[in-house]
Amino acid sequence: MTYREGRCDANCAFCPQARESTSSSDRLSRISWPDFAYPEVKAEYSVLPSFSRICIQSLNYPNVIDDVLFLVQEIRSVTDTPLSVSIHPLTKSNLQKLRDAGVTNIGIAFDACTQELFDKVKGKSRGSSYRWGLHEKALNDALDVFGIGRVTTHLMIGLGETEAEAVEFLFKMKELGVSVGLFAFTAIRGTALEKGEGPDLGSYRRVQVIRHLLHRDAIEWNDLHFINEEVRLKPPESELREYLSSGVAFQVSGCAGCNRPFYNERPSGTMYNFPCPLSEEEVQISINESGLWP
Ligand code: SF4
């Protein structure tokens, strides 16, 4: 994660890095990111090739693109490991600069699944320059520059959306060619949403299932129906269970190779996103938690 004195210029209601947050400034979600001078970081670069993926998470501040480009060039001088950048909406020419420097995947986070919710938690109502339409444009530009399969967004469940809205968002992103990394809302002290609660686990499991089946091209919109805003599936249970039997649906999602351990969950708490392959028993429990086939 990039570092600056102070906080991010954006003001996302759930984020410890937000401009108006009073959280400990080394946090992102529930993880602490201690700051190191760059030479200390570079001294450890020999470990980079052992990772499946490297990800640079950037805050929003003037000229952050220069910091990110510097890091990308430095990393590329030692390894060709897949390299993701998670960043705010950029101009197409800056997206191209990242691509030319060796970034393989780009993430631009919507976080909220409807325009109204977006404005409320990270846009206009938060005094931030983020706008739904600008995020949409940036994702489209990113698709032009990086191509389908290399552009990701984030969807956070538990911000006040309905399950149906979350599922509609997944289909919209699928149609655009953008893959979705799922996050469970995590209340962090000092943020505007510090008193919030994590999402209902059954609902989270169903959204995970839909995300996974969509990613595998196993369902279409007509395969869904909704009961009181909760999603249900029409195709035969046996067929869909087969797609879920690997447990991948319930693991951390986003770019290939990312496991983001315990980002939203305490190791002893509700395991919204498993950071490693699930045991057969965990797969069965997770499918049951979805409540799709009582
Ligand atoms: S842009 Fe990212 S780092 Fe900045 S406040 Fe929003 S979520 Fe936090």
For the beta carbon of residue 91, count every other beta carbon within 10 angstroms: 11
Q: What is the dihedral of CA 238, 242, 245, 248, to 10 degrees?
A: -130
Q: How confident is the model at residue 76 (pLDDT cuts 50, 70, 90)?
A: very high
Ligand 1 nearest atom to the CA of residue 11, by list position: 5
* DSSP 8-class letter at 249: G
Residue 292: its pLDDT value, please? 94
Q: What is the rounded average pLDDT of the residues 157-186?
A: 97
- Which residue owns the Cα nearest ligand 1 atom 2? 59
In this structure, what are the phi and psi dihedrals at residue 214, rounded to the nearest 5 degrees?
Answer: -65, -45
CA of 31 to the centre of ligand 1 (A): 14
CA of 244 to the centre of ligand 1 (A): 32
Residue 263: its pLDDT value, please? 87
Residue 29: its pLDDT value, please? 82
Ligand 1 nearest atom to the CA of residue 130, by list position: 1
In this structure, what are the phi and psi dihedrals at residue 225, rounded to the nearest 5 degrees?
Answer: -145, 160
Q: By the 8 A CB rule, do 255 and 152 touch?
A: yes
Local structure of 19: helix, strand or coil: coil
Q: By the 8 A CB rule, do 153 and 109 touch?
A: yes
Ligand 1 nearest atom to the CA of residue 18, by list position: 5
- Distance, CA of 133 to CA of 111 (rounded, Å): 14
- Distance, CA of 270 to CA of 263 (rounded, Å): 12
Tens of pLDDT, residues 42-62:
999 999 999 999 999 999 999
Output the average pLDDT for the chain: 95
Residue 277: its pLDDT value, please? 96
Residues, the chain: 294
- Distance, CA of 75 to CA of 227 (rounded, Å): 49
- Distance, CA of 211 to CA of 231 (rounded, Å): 12
Q: What is the rounded average pLDDT of the residues 6-24?
A: 93
Q: What is the pTM of this model?
A: 0.95
CA of 53 to the centre of ligand 1 (A): 21
Q: How far is CA 76 from CA 45, 59, 73, 83, 100, in A?
A: 11, 21, 5, 9, 11
- Asked if residue 8 has its Cβ within 6 Å of ligand 1, the reply is yes
Q: Which amino acid is at 200?
A: D
Tens of pLDDT, residues 118-147:
999 999 999 999 999 999 999 999 999 999
